[in-house]
Amino acid sequence: MAFTAFASTPAVEQAPKKRSFIALVLLLPGILYLVLFFLTPLISLVITSFQQPVLDGDIGEYQAGFNWQNYVDSVGEYWPLILRAFGFALVATVLALVISYPIAYVIGVKARRWPLLQSLLLTLVIAPFFISFLLRTLAWKQIMSDEGPIVQALKAVAILPSDGHLTGTTFSVIFGLTYNFIPFMTLPLYATLERLDLRYIEAGADLYASPFTVFRKVTIPLSMPGIVSGTLLTFIPAAGDYINASRDFLGSSSTAMVGNAIEANFLVLQNYPAAASLSIVLMAVILVIVGVYVRRSGTEDLV
């Protein structure tokens, strides 16, 4: 810490004291973009979340108001779905990390000597993106269907009871989330591990640390930025996902997540205040969780 600060001191002194007009102009597109596509929708969302129904109005008719009761109602009604969303997202994130780390390590460290192999493996990780993820999820639904090979095999070895099934279960939803977000975990991990200085690992071994200790004390801390950004890129969208848990894909009415409740309130019930308040609650909870997580994992430089 001290050394970093020392090294950057001259740079700080040379920084222009006057606010630069050019810099403002250069920032303008970015600020405009944020205002238009983030701030405006966000504010409109907040306003919607406080709306109240028009007396004797038709379906989907709401007027401006300060009906904070919307929050109480929607959380009271859907709290199990909120909990389930975060539970599923957490499990999927951990699974994705456990699966992705070895992949990223092989590509980023072991395959360093063979650039061709490295790019080939990377392509394989990215390849699923070439097909729409809706199609891929539907394909999994087909593969896991009752008369499909997986269920038949599991039944044959008595892992699944004879009336058991995979689609529409907690398993299939978490599977779908994990599968769909693995590339988002692998790529940041790869980016960090690719720059891992192998001399540190050698040094660790020279100091008589076992391979496991070296991994725990050297490799993991050095790849922490990758782990943090990978888990964030997985956890945040997974918590709000409504495709995998949708009844049309891998879910059923017993696996609905908060995203499905927001979708149903918005598109079917036309209860916009409920949908908006649920979205804001979801955002707020994610913000808190992520804030605590980033602080505790000690990578402030990352964000």
CB of 244 to other proteins, least distance (A): 15
For other proteins, give the closer residue by CB, 35 or 127. Answer: 35
Helix (H, G, I), strand (E, B) or coil at 53: strand
CB of 239 to other proteins, least distance (A): 17
Distances 206 to 59, 170, 221 between C-alpha atoms, Å: 72, 46, 18
* 62 sits in which H/E element: strand 62-63
Task: Give the integer Cα–Cα distance in Å for 269 and 74.
Answer: 13
Residues forming contacts to other proteins in the complex (CB under 8 A) are: 1-2, 5-6, 8-9, 12, 15, 31, 35, 39-40, 43-44, 47, 56-60, 63-64, 77-78, 80-81, 141-142, 145-148, 163, 165, 167-168, 247-248, 252-256, 260-261, 264-271
Q: What are the residues facing 63 on neighbouring strands? A: 52
Q: Which position has the token pair 């389930």? A: 84
Which of 58, 79, 83, 34 shows the shortest CA–CA distance to 277? 79
103: DSSP letter: H
Tell me the angle at which helices 272-296 and 69-108 cross, rounded to the nearest 10 degrees. Answer: 40
- The total of other beta-carbon atoms located within 10 Å of residue 288's CB is 10
Task: Give the integer Cα–Cα distance in Å for 237 and 285.
Answer: 13
**222 phi/psi in degrees, rounded to 5:** -70, -25
Query: Are the C-beta atoms of 217 and 223 separated by less than 8 Å?
Result: no
Task: Give the integer Cα–Cα distance in Å for 303 and 229.
Answer: 9
CB of 61 to other proteins, least distance (A): 8
Helices within 35-68 (DSSP H only): 40-49
For other proteins, give the closer residue by CB, 109 or 240. Answer: 240
Task: Give the integer Cα–Cα distance in Å for 188 and 73.
Answer: 39
Residue type, 229: S
